[in-house]
Amino acid sequence: MEWSRQKVTSKHLIDVVERKQTKLRWKHVKLSARTKMSVKRAVEVCSEEVVTDICEGSFPLEETIGTRMYLSICAKLFKIMNNSTGIDPSSYRELVKIINWFTKWHNEIKMTMPERGQRKAHWKKFITERTYKDLIRSIRAFLGLVQYIQMNYPDTIIIPKTMCQDDVENYFSLQRARISSGQPAVLSFLNQLQH
């Protein structure tokens, strides 16, 4: 990938793996079609520990700016969404900054689109379009849900980790499939939380 003319490359991660100073191992970077998806593995790759280790690696710092920036942004997102103690209001601004960063990157790729024939290769400089849309949608939905809860249930303690787990994701997908009561999924979810 490429962010603001800076490479985002696995070479920087391989350098970290070879030094063995972090949790990063070959299983993190040598993926295949049979590799099982793992959030834990993604969190271990996109961590400040890895960013710091890249700075101590064999590549010149100016060569690793893109990779370090990408990993730092993802690490912030994981830290906010995986918080199990309660949401810090300053994290709302951080989430908006993350949306803005990815949107700016997306627009940069869009604005530098070459003529026909090389567009597919050009889009590989960015995360997949589906990942981008899901990321933006997830952050906006989370912020909207937090705002709704704070407005209507001001004494409720919001713990992001519990709102972002597989069971909650499964619940919302079921709600999208069919909402028997006719009320929005958020209300159904909140009603279920109260019981």
**Spatial contact of 68 and 30, defined as CB atoms under 8 Å apart:** no
Q: What angle do CA 80, 82, 83 make, to 5 degrees?
A: 70
Q: Which of 5, 79, 186 is nearest to 194 (CA)?
A: 186
Q: How far is CA 109 from CA 5, 72, 122, in A?
A: 10, 20, 8
Q: If you compute the radius of gyration of the chain from its CA atoms, what whole number of angstroms results? A: 19
Among 59, 82, 105, identify where a domain stops: 82
Compute the average pLDDT of residues 94-113. Answer: 94
pTM for this predicted structure: 0.78
Q: Which of 123, 121, 120, 127 is nearest to 98 (CA)?
A: 127
Residue 180 has pLDDT above 60, yes or no: no
Q: Are residues 122 and 189 in the same domain?
A: no
Among 31, 66, 82, identify where a domain stops: 82
Q: Are residues 77 and 112 in the same domain?
A: no
- Overall domain count for the chain: 3
pLDDT of residue 191: 54
Q: Which of 101, 5, 21 is nearest to 55 (CA)?
A: 21
Compute the average pLDDT of residues 95-118. Answer: 91
Amino acid at 62: E
Domain hosting 14: range is: 1-82
